[in-house]
Chain A
Amino acid sequence: MSSTSHADTAAAAQDGAPAPASRRRRGVRRLSVRDRVVVGVLLGIPLLLDLAFVWFPAIGTALLSFTKWNGVGSLHTQTCKPNVPSILNNGCWYGVQNYHQAATIYPEFWPAVRHNLIWLAVFVLIATPLGMLFAVLIDRGIRGSRMYQSILFLPVMLSLALVGIIWEFMYSQNYGLINTVLGRTSDSNAIDWLGNPHLNLWSVLVEATWRQSGYVMVLYLAGLKAVDPTLREAALMDGANAWQTFWRVIFPVMKPINIVVMVVTVIESLRAFDLVYITNKGINGLELLSVLVTSNIVGETQRVGFGSALGVVLLVISLVPISVFLYQTFRREEAS
């Protein structure tokens, strides 16, 4: 990026005019050799790290998803031969077969997609509005708002693994608080909150919501405090009630925060892993795409290509909120 040859230094000396792109930033060509070395080091090392450990693997996932590979031996570009024992068909080009298999014959795939969608829906329809409601009530400065904020925020500090363990005492079949309150603790009528495959996703989602809404609350509190108070006053002067003021005036001006919350909501529901893993390793009703990706690469049978295809599904979905966020955030930057 910043070569430090003498020819460039000479060119830099001639280049007296400020860089046309931006008056605030100093063009790299106007810098001394030493300064350019500094720029190279400050930018180069982190860039290499980011490319090597984040972007190279991200592209790798996309490429590997078209191969059939068990992780042993080398990859090559030959097409996989049909009707050959899989031991001879390793490291070969598999086309879209991984995707096809995932969608047709992999029994966990569609349940996992469904569970991820339910997770997202609960975050969008329950955790986010709840967090927003907390923020609005606390922002009104009612008595004890500091204390409420601290309490509702507490779960955000805890790791999801810890959240999973803490809630196991609430959900425990014979001893748990919930079953005791419901009077369902005997072996015959106990509710198996975390074991019953029709129930456990919802139980885990209660845990996830318990943590997520505190997170959303903090984000909205930051947003609400940045809203110009005169806007609210003007709306009230015009005879709007609190409900109208919030939805017609405050909510629209919080657009940047709304987008951040949207990104956090979608990404967190795609990343969801720790809670189900600590609960039962993500089986028996708690399958998620993230769990399937992981079990296909660190499990007993290594299906690198297949696991990558599942990773690409996650990647494609996550690109939607990421693009919206980047567009919203950097559009003004490009313009200015």
Chain B
Amino acid sequence: MTTEALTRPGKAAAPSAPGRRRTRPWGQVASQAFLIVASVLWLLPIAFALYVAVRPYSDTRKYGYVSMPHHLTLKNFSDAWTQSDMLHFFWNSVMITVPAVVIVLALASGVAFVLSRVDVKFNVALLILFTAGNLLPQQVIITPLYRLYLKITLPHFVSDSGLMYNSIFGLIAINVAFQLGFCVFVLSNYMKSVPEEMYEAALVDGASLWTRFWRLTIPLCRPALAALATLLTTWIYNDFFWAITLMSSGDKRPVTSALANLQGQFVSNQNLIAAAAMIAAVPTLVVYILLQKQFIAGLSLGASKG
């Protein structure tokens, strides 16, 4: 079930079912018309923001956003990039997202392996504990978490604030802890689909538990890990709430939450905001273009339980 779901997205609706084609022509036309209208409406806000971004401030000031393009320019992008120090914020995002994704996947595969392959008595209860943790609204845990982050001290080479609060380390920790549940849920379902015979064969060969985990299970889970990595990268990069609440100083924030500050900084020049927003969208758009199938596969894995 789960493996099927992983390979199937992408191959949209194979015409295998003869019944599916038996739609009446007007139904086809209506469907096409509806989807075309929806697609235009769905693209419009993004296209419009992009249009604002490529026009000079003087033009939109004079003619409004909805007007013929008198001049087109990329200067807004370069101005937004340099004036807001976006490289710095992107670097913050990388410093948070990359370690967080790697650590979540490493920890979650370990838990999923144990819960799906070793009888530790409370397997289902533990799985429920992890899964439910990911479903809580962030605001349910933020109040004590905020106090906790102000209490935990860290050595200065880890955090220059000396605390979990306002440190990149702290943001990595909460992103890891919060995303663990989803990954454990997905990976343990995936690992259950590995045939038992493979483990029996490994046991006959005298493979230790670690070997069965690292040499046998992990390579088999590569498709699921790739899908989850795509999903997590996007989610953690897109995180706004943790960075807004657990970081006080704007210059340590990742790019998504730094957008809130940029809005204030560029309040008199909306074109720069549009350009900055488009720049901030680039990493997710790269994922969208190159890894859309992986992303959708990850969501499907989370949704379809075999």
Binds A, one of B73-81, B84-92, B155-163, B205-213: B205-213
Of residues 144 through 189 on chain B, the ones whose CB sits less than 8 Å from some CB of chain A are 144-148, 150, 173-174, 176-178, 180-181, 184
Let me know if B303 and A223 touch, CB within 8 A.
Answer: yes
User: Interface readout for A28-63 with B: 1 if CB under 8 Å, 0 if not?
Assistant: 100110110011011101110110111111101100
The verdict on A157 contacting B20 (CB below 8 Å), with A43-B120, A54-B133, A223-B304 known, is no
The verdict on A169 contacting B52 (CB below 8 Å), with A229-B16, A333-B124 known, is yes
Of residues 49 through 64 on chain B, the ones whose CB sits less than 8 Å from some CB of chain A are 49, 52, 60, 64
The verdict on A161 contacting B259 (CB below 8 Å), with A32-B208, A54-B178, A297-B142 known, is yes
Binds B, one of A103-111, A140-148, A193-201: A140-148
Let me know if A161 and B240 touch, CB within 8 A.
Answer: yes
Q: How many residues of A contact B (CB 8 A)?
A: 124
Q: Answer whether residue B143 sits at the interface, using C-beta atoms and an 8 A cutoff.
A: yes
| Bound Cα distance from A326 to B130, whole angstroms | 11
Q: How many residues of B contact A (CB 8 A)?
A: 120
Q: Write out the residue numbers on chain A whose beta carbons fall within 8 Å of the beta carbon of B35.
A: 134, 137-138, 142, 144, 148
Let me know if A57 and B144 touch, CB within 8 A.
Answer: yes
Of residues 261 through 298 on chain B, the ones whose CB sits less than 8 Å from some CB of chain A are 263, 270, 273-274, 277, 280-281, 284-285, 287-288, 292, 295-296
Let me know if A225 and B284 touch, CB within 8 A.
Answer: no
Cβ distance A161 to chain B, nearest Cβ, rounded Å: 5
Q: Answer whether residue B18 sits at the interface, using C-beta atoms and an 8 A cutoff.
A: yes
The verdict on A307 contacting B143 (CB below 8 Å), with A145-B13, A225-B8, A273-B241 known, is yes
Q: Answer whether residue A174 sits at the interface, using C-beta atoms and an 8 A cutoff.
A: yes
Which 8 residue pairs of A and B lie closest in terms of their CB atoms, listed nearest first? A60-B144, A42-B110, A159-B238, A141-B13, A222-B300, A53-B177, A35-B209, A57-B141
| 30 pairs, CB–CB < 8 Å, chain A vs chain B | A26-B118, A28-B119, A28-B120, A35-B210, A39-B209, A42-B114, A43-B120, A46-B110, A46-B184, A49-B173, A49-B177, A50-B129, A61-B144, A137-B35, A138-B35, A139-B12, A149-B12, A158-B46, A175-B64, A219-B303, A222-B9, A222-B296, A222-B299, A222-B304, A226-B4, A232-B20, A277-B240, A315-B137, A322-B135, A330-B128
